[in-house]
Amino acid sequence: MPRRVYIESSVISYLTSRTSRDLVVAAHQQVTLDFWERISQFEMCISVYLIAEISQGDHAKAQTRMGLIANATLLQTSPEVEALADALIAQKSVPAKARLDALHIAVCAVHGVDFLLTWNCKHIANAQTMHLIENTCTELGYACPRLCTPLELQES
């Protein structure tokens, strides 16, 4: 059975944006494109939270973003997801202003997803706060998904 990877909106953004003039961002975009060529090796998972984010803005661009997730497994939200997101915020694992990020993490933990793939290194894939997120998930009886960037899921 393939490992499950949840796709967060920053990954979709990197896939569909024009190549950045910023060399670091451009490199991240290329790494994301390279990873996307191997997405079939994983069970791609999404949530209503991702759909809400990527369906905003220009209609044509939103359709392009939505097309990327057409074959993904939709993870359902639940009171457990909401409660875990609330706990992540209450325990200051994720700042209150980043509730959507807490919801992405929570839906993955509740559904036992292996990886949460993101370029959001401020609130999600952050080495300084990752242990707080992991501790909160564990305290509430959930295994925390591996919070990582596409760079960390490169083929060896």
What are the residue ranges spanned by the domains of the chain? 4-149
Is the pLDDT at 156 greater than 70, yes or no?
no
CA distance 111 to 94: 19
Mean pLDDT (whole number) for 69-73: 96
CATH topology for 4-149 is: Rossmann fold (3.40.50)
Torsion region of 42: left, alpha or beta (phi above 0 gives left; psi -120 to 50 gives alpha): beta
Total-model pTM = 0.94
Residues 6+ apart with CB under 8 A from 118: 8, 10, 11, 104, 124, 125, 147, 148, 149
What does the pLDDT look like over 12-55, one tens digit per residue? 999 999 999 999 999 999 999 999 999 999 999 999 999 999 99
CA distances from 57 to 25, 32, 46 (A): 21, 22, 19
